[in-house]
Amino acid sequence: MRAIPFLVLVAFTFFTGSAQAILLGATSRDPNGLRRSVVFIENSAGELCSGALIGADLVLTAAHCVTDAASYRVVAVNRAFKPQRIRVVALAMHPSFVTGTTPRTQPGVDLAILRLERQLGADFLPLNPTLAGRIGVGDAVTIAGFGVSDENRKGTARILRQANLVSLGPIEVANRVLIVADPERLAETSGAGACRGDSGGPILAATQDSYLLYGIVSWSSGALHTSGGRRNACGGLTAVTPLVEHLGWIRQAVRNLLATDGAWTRR
C-alpha cells in the first residue's frame, strides 16, 4: 500500500476526466435494493449524471452535473425497473463551486441538491447524508450509478450498476477529494470504478440492513497501464466529495429548497 500516494498523483495528473458508468459493475436487479435510493439526472441538452435520493423530493448530486443552461429531469425506477421522470424545479449549488472548470481542476466543492416537482412515494428510500462518517484508508465502499459499462459504449447507460471498491484516502490538489479504486487492481490496470454517467452518484457503506451515504462521485481516471497505450478516463481511480465535511451546507440548502415556492432558483 506504500505506493498508493504516488500512483494516485500520477493517474490524477495524466488520465482524469469527468466521471460519467460503473466499469465491471454488477447490474442491480433487486427491487428492494439500491434502485430505491439511486436515480439519474438528464437534461434537455442530452447530458446524463447519477444522484442519491436524500428526501422524498430531494436529490444530492455533483454540481458540475447541473451547470448547463438547460431543463433537468430526475429519473427514478420503480420495482419493475420502469423509469419515472420528474421535473426539477429548484436547485442549490455549493457556494464555493466555480463554473467553467473541469471537475478535477475545480477549486470549490462539487455538490448540488435538486428539488423535484413532486415527491416520490413510499416505494423509495431516501438516504440521510447527516449520518455520514469518515472513510478511512482501506475501508470497503460501494459505488452505484446509471452510467455506461464501457466508456466507448454509450448505449449501455441508464441501467443501474454497483461495484465494491476500497478507499485509498484523501488527496488535495485543486480541492479535497477522497480516492477509491478496485481493491484488487488499485488502478495499476483497468478495474471497477466510475465512468461516463456516474458523476453525482453515491459512495456508500453497507450496513446490516441498508446503506449509509458517505460521498458523491466527482471524477474518474484511467488506469496507469492500458492496452495499446490508449488513454482512458475510466477504470482507474474514482474521486469522491466526502459529505462529512459539508454537512452544515447540506442542512441549510435543504431548508432553503423546501422553503421555495417551486420557482427555478440557484442558491
The four Cα atoms 83, 89, 95, 96 give a dihedral, to 10 degrees, of: 30
Tens of pLDDT, residue by residue over 133-170, are 889 999 999 999 999 877 766 778 899 999 999 999 99
Q: What is the pLDDT of residue 197?
A: 92
How many domains, the chain? 2
| pLDDT for 22 | 55
**198 and 81 in a common domain:** no
For residues 57 and 189, state if they share a domain: no
Q: Which residue has the cell 465502499?
A: 141
Proportion of the chain above pLDDT 70, given as a percent = 85
Check whether residue 106 and residue 162 sit in a common domain: no
Same domain flag for 132 and 239: yes
- Does 191 lie in the same domain as 89? no
The whole-number pLDDT of residue 227 equals: 67
Residue 77 pLDDT greater than 90, yes or no: yes
Domain extent, residue 97, equals 34-127+247-258
Residues 183, 115 share a domain: no
10 — pLDDT class (breaks 50, 70, 90) = very low
Task: Quote the pLDDT of residue 109.
Answer: 97
pLDDT at position 11 is 45
> Are residue 21 and residue 121 in the same domain, yes or no?
no
Q: What is the rounded average pLDDT of the residues 84-92? A: 96
Q: What is the residue-averaged pLDDT of the chain?
A: 86
Find the helix or strand (DSSP H, E) in which 189 lies.
none
118, 134: one domain = no
Query: Residue 266 domain-assigned?
Result: no
* Spatial contact of 27 and 33, defined as CB atoms under 8 Å apart: no
Please enumerate in sequence order all residues whose Cβ is within 8 A of that of 75, keeping only pairs 6 or more positions apart, or say none: 39, 40, 41, 42, 83, 84, 85, 86, 146, 158
| Residue range 232-261, pLDDT digits in tens | 778 889 999 999 999 999 999 999 999 976
Kindly report the pTM of this predicted structure. Answer: 0.88
Q: Are residues 132 and 227 in the same domain?
A: yes
Q: With respect to residue 265, please indicate whether it lies within any of the assigned structural domains.
A: no
